[in-house]
C-alpha cells in the first residue's frame, strides 16, 4: 500500500522546506517504500487529522514526529534496508540528532526562518511569525543574522564534529547512510531550499551533502529551491 507523506509547502507548493520532513522523505527513500507526497501549509492544520508535519498515513496508521516515524518504519518494515540497526543504531542516530539540535539548529534558524516567512502564503505567514516569535522570544528580524557570512562561519563551527568525522568515514552511519545522516541533512536541506547552499563545496560536509543530494535518483538534488 502506498504511504501518504504530508510535506510542509511554501506558497509555491513545489517548494518543500521543512527540516523534519526532509528527514522523513529521506527515510522513506532509504527504505524503498512507495509513497505519495501531499503538500501541506500551516493554514491547513485546522483541516487535517494531523496538526504537525511530517505526517504519514500508512493504511490505518497515522503518525507524526520524524523520530517516531523513523522507528516505526524500521519496526513495520524490517525486511527493507534498516535506518537504524537496533538499539546501537538508534542511540547513534539520537546522538547525532541531539548534537544537531544543540549545535546546528539555532544557527540554521538564523539563516532559514526569515526567508521562510517570505515564501509562505499570507495566512500561514501571520501564524508562523506569531508562533515563532513567541517560541524564540525575539522578532524574526532579530533571529535572522544580517551577516550571513558570519552565520555560515557559525554553522561550520557548530558542525566541526561532523566535518572531522566525515574526513574518516564516508557517511555518519559508516560505509552507507543511516538515519543519523538524514538528521543533519534535513537541517542543511532546509537552508538549501529557502536560501542558499550552506556548505563549502570542498569541505568534507560539502562532498557528503552532494552525495546525499544525489542518492535515490537525485531525489533531493532535483527538489525545487528558491534558485529554481
Ligand atoms: N519534533 C518534530 C518537529 C516537527 C515540527 O516542528 N514541524 C513543524 C514544521 S517544520 C510543524 O509541523 N509545525 C506546525 C505548526 O507550527 O503549527 C519532528 O521531528 O517531527
End-to-end CA gap in the chain: 32
Instruction: Indicate whether residue 54 lines ligand 1 (CB < 6 A).
Output: yes
Which residues 6+ apart lie within 8 Å of 23 measured at CB? 54, 66, 70, 179, 182, 183, 185, 186
- Residue 1: the pLDDT is 86
| CA-closest residue to ligand 1 atom 2 | 65
Distances (CA, A) of 134 to 96, 129, 142, 145, 185: 27, 8, 13, 18, 27
What is the pLDDT, as a whole number, of residue 201? Answer: 94
Torsion sign across C-alpha atoms 146, 148, 150, 151: positive
pLDDT at 31 (0 to 100): 98
pLDDT of residue 144: 92
* Closest residue to atom 13 of ligand 1, CA basis: 52
DSSP β-bridge partners for residue 61: 58
Give nearest CA residue, ligand 1 atom 1: 65
65 in ligand 1 pocket by Cβ < 6 Å?
Answer: yes
**Calpha distance 77→72 (Å, rounded):** 8
CA 146 – ligand 1 centroid, Å: 25
Q: Determine phi and psi for 73, rounding to 5 degrees.
A: -65, -40
Q: What domains are there in the chain, each with its CATH number?
A: 3-76 (3.40.30.10), 86-218 (1.20.1050.10)
Which stretches of the chain score pLDDT less than 70? none
Q: Show the cell assigned to 173.
A: 552511519
What's the pLDDT at 59? 96
CB 183 within 8 A of CB 100: yes
C-alpha 69/C-alpha 169 separation (Å) is 26
What CA–CA distance (Å, rounded) separates 14 from 67? 24
Amino acid at each position: 500500500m502506498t504511504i501518504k507523506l504530508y510535506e510542509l509547502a511554501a506558497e509555491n507548493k513545489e517548494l518543500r522546506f521543512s527540516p523534519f520532513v526532509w528527514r522523513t522523505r529521506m527515510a522513506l527513500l532509504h527504505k524503498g517504500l512507495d509513497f505519495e507526497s501531499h503538500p501541506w501549509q500551516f493554514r491547513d492544520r485546522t483541516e487535517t487529522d494531523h496538526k504537525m508535519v511530517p505526517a504519514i498515513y500508512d493504511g490505518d496508521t497515522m503518525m507524526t514526529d520524524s523520530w517516531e516515524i523513523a522507528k516505526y518504519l524500521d519496526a513495520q518494515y524490517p525486511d527493507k534496508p534498516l535506518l537504524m540497526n537496533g538499539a546501537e543504531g538508534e542511540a547513534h542516530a539520537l546522538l547525532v540528532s541531539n548534537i544537531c539540535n544543540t549545535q546546528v539548529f539555532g544557527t540554521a534558524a538564523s539563516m532559514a526562518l526569515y526567508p521562510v516567512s517570505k515564501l509562505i502564503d499570507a495566512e500561514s505567514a501571520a501564524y508562523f511569525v506569531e508562533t515563532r516569535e513567541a517560541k524564540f522570544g525575539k522578532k524574526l528580524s532579530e533571529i535572522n543574522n544580517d551577516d550571513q557570512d558570519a552565520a555560515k562561519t557559525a554553522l561550520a563551527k557548530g558542525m566541526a564534529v561532523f566535518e572531522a568525522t566525515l574526513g574518516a568515514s564516508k557517511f555518519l552511519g559508516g560505509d552507507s547512510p543511516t538515519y543519523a545522516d538524514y538528521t543533519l541533512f534535513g537541517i542543511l536541506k532546509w537552508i538549501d531550499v529557502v536560501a542558499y547552499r550552506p556548505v563549502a563545496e570542498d569541505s568534507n560536509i560539502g562532498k557528503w551533502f552532494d552525495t546525499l543530494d544525489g542518492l535515490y535518483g537525485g531525489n533531493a538534488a532535483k527538489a525545487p529551491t528558491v534558485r529554481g
